[in-house]
Structure 1
Amino acid sequence: MTLSSAPSSQVNEVKEHYNKLKDALIMMVDDEPIMMDLVQTFLESEGYKHFVNLEDSTQAVSEVLQQRPDVLLLDLNMPEVNGFEILAELQQDDKLNHIPVIVLTSSSDSDSKLKALELGATDFLAKPVDPSELALRLRNTLTVKAYQDQLAYYDALTGLPNRKLFLDRLEWSLSRQQREGGSAAIIDISLDGFKKINQSLGIKSGDILLKCVADRLMEHIRQSDVVSKIPEQDLYRSLSRLAGDEFSILLTDIDRPDQVETIIRRLVNLFQTPFNIANEEVLISASVGVAIYPDDGDTSDSLVKRAGVASAHVKQNGGNGYHFFSKELEARSKQRLSLEMDLRQAIEHQEFALHYQPKVWTATQQIMGMEALLRWQHPKKGMISPAEFIPLAEELGLLPSIGRWVIIEGCRQLARWQQQGLPPLKLSINVSPQQLKDKSIITLLGKAIEKFSLSPSQLVIEITESLAMEDSTANVELLHAIKALGVDLSIDDFGTGYSSLSYLKHLPFDELKIDRSFLINIPNDRDEVAIVKAIIAMAQSLDLRVVAEGVEEAPQLEFLNKLQCEVIQGFYFSKPLPSKAFAEFVLSHKQ
């Protein structure tokens, strides 16, 4: 099929392809200026626009490194440094050996051609150069290079430059900024909660979202004053998809720091508008981090790393914002990395322990059970707060394995206490969302009960209100399966979520725990008193055992007792205790 007989869409695609090729940067190295002028004049008539001509062959390799041409037209026979030597140097440099080289030579012997091919030459043209032959060879060479570059340097999903091309361009830009005394910025953009999008909508919808994000970012770059100095054909190169849900923008020739802050604010605001994915509106935010050259680093590795440190700080603090890199952030990042490594080994090194906080019958003030609370005794850093390591464990996906250890260890300790003559007690164990989604928890509970000869009614599994209220068939089925074992179920932190009474009454819960935040100011705060009364009344109407946690003062206890809140838990009776101290505490309160 000829081009004239092809469909118009195909003709347009071919024309667009050829037009893109003519944006290529062509570099010529030849000791004959007249020859370079003739070649450039002809190529300009063919539509090519960008040229670098070099007569001094001793500067060829450094100029190629600085200019990064799309193709090199190279004479072989030159004084001082010949074309063979230049080819050899280019071949040894990983940053340059992919650049296609068309050799222009008056030499016709096969040995010279073979040697040039062995040194990495792509094609040959005999001098004097035939214009039509040059146009054909150049077009073919650039077409092959464009295809190879697309595979090696561009993200298949979004069409944006990938990490490899981004780092290559960054190094080139830093080299130029260093020579000219300029400044540059790396902006790291990490999507918040993208994993949940994949889980809820599917990987295909996740890919569509990434493409939409890339398109919106590119449109923003086109409209931004900050990057207006970048030529239109190079705009896409300032934006890259580094990996997964992470994008990066390279800003060069920055005059003032406030320029960077302006574009960052706009970037964050870009995500305030939902994306339309398969006729469904999806709202996703981004954590944006910034590193400035040369203040925050003078190498590509250090700048990319530090921009990532800044965006990670935003994400750890809720996301949907931006932060500039600082030395304080880097110190925190190193501490966090160290903590991550230690946390992964904590179970193996037996650094975790369970402490137990008594749960007490309000009316009789006798101990009815205890809540198992995880503690981490680091060998060098001492006791690490659960508020510090549990969110980290959740982020790293370690909670299921830690949770399994908690169930086994808690049941083992309960069996020991029974052998020591302690009265029958109920052991409450918190289960994370990650654990609850793992159906193996049913098997684990069953095996633990059997292994340690426990009564299922001695165990209470606590889940948060927000997790309990997830309208998920799988969640509901799992809760009923746990209940079928004979194990009690408890709603923790009640009052902090959005419970529906009609939904709650269909779930197999035995216990409801009023969140401690509602007890701080009772009985003096009228609003909190009203809330606590309503929660207790609702729980009693559903025949649920009510536990008030965070009780620290006698007036709170008296108030709760009057409302017939069955169980209390808090520092008024005891802080969480190690297993030995807890046993002593129970025995001292035994009637």
Structure 2
Amino acid sequence: MTVNKQQSGSDLVLPIGKALASVGGGLGKPGCVHDDTFRRAFQALLSVSEPSQSIDTFLAKCVEQISVAYGSRYAFIGKVQDLNDRSHIETISCFVDGELTSNMVYPLCGSPCQEVLQKGELYVDEGLCARYPDDELLQDMGLASYYGSVLKDSQGTAIGLVVICDTEPLDLNDWNLPLLRLFAERISHEIERELIEQELRLSSSVFQNSHDIAVIVQNDWKIIKANRTFETMTGWSESDAQGQHIFLLRSDREDDEFYRALTIQLLKTGFWSGELWVKPKNGKIFPVDCTIKGVVDPSTGENKHYIMIFSDISERKYAEERINRLAYYDAGTDLPNRTHFQDELKKVLSQQRDKSARFSVMFMDLDGFKAVNDRMGHAAGDQLLREVADRLRALPGRNAFAARLGGDEFGILVRYSDRNSSIVLTSDQIANQIISAIGHPYEIEGEPVRISASIGVALYPDHGEESKTLLRNADLATYYAKSEGRNRVEFFHDALCEKADCEAAMMALMHKGLREDQFFMVYQSKHSANDERVVGAEALMRWRLDDGTMISPGQFIPVAEETGQICELGQFALRSVFEQLVAWEGLEGAPERVSINLSGRQLMSPIFLSRLEDMVKETGVNTKRVELEITETWLMEDPDHSARLLKALKNLGFSLSIDDFGVAYSSMNYLRHFPVDVIKIDQSFVRDVMSDKSLVAIISAIIAMGHSLDLKVLAEGVENRDQLELLRALGCDEIQGYYFSRPVEADRLKFVHSVAAALSA
């Protein structure tokens, strides 16, 4: 917005004199009938041309002088109340019969003021009431005459008007009609100047009181102004920093190329935003979100200054690093986890430009670990796993990447740089070296312990050219090593594909189970963290053979995921839950909301949505009572596709939750685009929360992030009162776990809910 420089009294004398002379023949010209009116008008304009102490004083003086100059009973200045609506005028200074009066809001429709705003000026010397019969205020006052001139801002927009009016006719001549225009221009300038000064005062206040570092630099990057937070967080006072280059704060984390790219973008767009590291006076660098905005010089069109805002993100980065480490490293051993191992394998495969490069994938399973764990307890088992991890870290050298895949299973990825040596021989030597190291005695809780290891090896490209094939074949070789007596190394060979036949047998068994209703759903209650009342349940699948044998989900779910049969099981689970909810409709003790897990394979099916819609229609289920749980890992594989699918599910009326939250690390930038209602904190965070303070920080960060996005947060795997009380104190909304109830069948769930309701009453 551009405003003309305020004119002083001497600056205005000449243009006022010229204006009066052009229409009236000159100031004080002998023989002129209106000499006294000339003088009054001239003095009135001079009186308001001097700078005023305040906008209110200036406006009051204006309406008084205008009324005196024109000899009218009424004079007022009004502003359009809403520039978008433009239906009302709000007076900002009124002069009536020699006195200032209270302001009012005045409707424009059918009024002379509306015509002024549209045409720029209006003069009615008499008969005003007859001309505007719908203007009630005008009729009540009995006004006969009216003269108004529009107020405009520097962009030419009509923002208000200045008006004189009277119950008697106004007798204005050609020379004094333009005077009101001069008043209008002066008033417009003063109003706009006040608005800009208010904006500047507000901007200055925001600048100084911001919790972020705020700096203004010249286009040569020398600091000219900094706020109080600058001194607090960097240790440099504003006076010390003024005149210094902004690189006063530069750390060694970003190179020259980074700043060259930043400068190029600023020159092109006048804006840059991103993360960088700031080096304060004490040298302890910290990360910030930085935003740089150019301030354009209107005369040259170039950036004259830059405003730089630095937001400290140390706590956020710490939480991100912790979550990222939990996502990619095993908490018990601090080795990379299965996800990290698979990612590393995919990265190595992507780097292979030809098949002359060689590497091996090894799976290692500990022999006798379960016996130690059962005999000495989980604490001893965890200690043993940590010592095994320490030995793996030392072997077999810098070309190896070791990870804990889960339980007592480990993976080792070994790259071979010597193309002349036998990969089989070298792999065998390394694997036996590992077995020897693992076989040395341990001292666990003061007691000597011995275990051994079985290792399966798959070679690239001999035993597979894709990660899935190599991982499967190494796993099959490990299975064979254990079946052949353990404490040995086995390489993959075709005969091991018999294990795949076992998977086929499992698939056939599952088909039979679905046909013969061997699968069924159980339900685990969910509770409010505050008062422990039941707020819903989660549906889980179970498999009971005809002879009563229970097949663990840990056995059949991985096979179903691997083979794609999970889609058929998922359809069964959805229909079972929908039908159960319909059967529960209106029954006392039944849960109001039931959640059910969806597989990533199931969600990727192109016919999933259409089948789901058909099932909703066929069963008549109220989708508002169904919460669909989707794993974070799957969501983050293709966030854009995930967002579209979640929106479609939301449109069908389902509630949505992210299961196992924290495992794959969803950034807030993605999470805010997912239309979810609940995030479930993975039980791996809850299990050791009482003994690991870092987990408390992570859970607290997840809860805060969820609440900032208006999401409910549920913690699963709660097994004792201490965990419950801690999660409640951290602000968790809902709780699920064995502390309240194990998964039970539908009829039993009603009883659990009734008891819980009675206890919480």
Q: Taking structure 1 as the reference length, what is the TM-score of the superposition?
A: 0.47
Q: Choose 1 or 2 for highest CA Rg.
A: 2
Structure having greater relative contact order (Cα 8 Å, sep ≥ 6): 1
